[in-house]
Amino acid sequence: QVQLVQSGAEVKNPGASVKVSCETSGYTFTAHYIHWVRQAPGQGLEWMGWTNPKSGDTKYSETFQGRVTMTRDTSTSTFYMELKRLTSDDTALYFCARGSPVGGSRRPSDYWGQGTLVTVSS
């Protein structure tokens, strides 16, 4: 079965960086884009960007441009999202989610990771 398993909760100081991982299984790693979505406490869902698992190409929301880097490791079927220069506004639950098939038609995110809580506090 398809599974996306994320790394554990993180506590960071303002100004630091955080790197969240998302290990995939149950499907062909290179077959689907992976998206990142975050949710601040008590707030809605915010799309951050995607990674093409075949090429490594990325697309980021303008909101995070310059601060976020999304990568993947084909040897471990794992995706990463690194966010730099953290502030308290970055305190949120970060999700990875499987998206459209590469080279296929557009589809929404059908499988989601369990979420990684990132807390930014001094």
Partner 1 sequence: DIQMTQSPSSLSASIGDRVTVTCRASQGISTYLAWYQQKPGKVPELLISAASSLQSGAPSRFSGSGSGTDFTLTITSLQPEDVATYYCQQYDTAPRTFGQGTKVEIK
The residues of the shown chain that bind partner 1, judged by CB under 8 A, are 35, 37, 44-47, 49-50, 59, 61-63, 95, 99-100, 106-110, 112-115
CA distances from 88 to 1, 5, 40, 73 (A): 36, 25, 10, 29
**Least distance in angstroms from the C-beta of 104 to partner 1:** 13
| Nearer to partner 1 (CB atom), residue 16 or residue 47 | 47
Q: DSSP secondary-structure letter at 7?
A: P
| Nearer to partner 1 (CB atom), residue 80 or residue 95 | 95
**Least distance in angstroms from the C-beta of 121 to partner 1:** 21
Burial class (CB in 10 A: 0-12, 13-18, 19+), 54: middle
**Least distance in angstroms from the C-beta of 46 to partner 1:** 7
| Nearer to partner 1 (CB atom), residue 19 or residue 59 | 59
**Least distance in angstroms from the C-beta of 50 to partner 1:** 7
| Nearer to partner 1 (CB atom), residue 14 or residue 56 | 56
> Which residue, among 61, 3, 8, 7, has the nearest Cα to 32 in the 3D structure?
3
- Tokens (6 digits) for 52: 């093409």
CA dihedral 84, 75, 7, 51 (to 10 degrees): 50
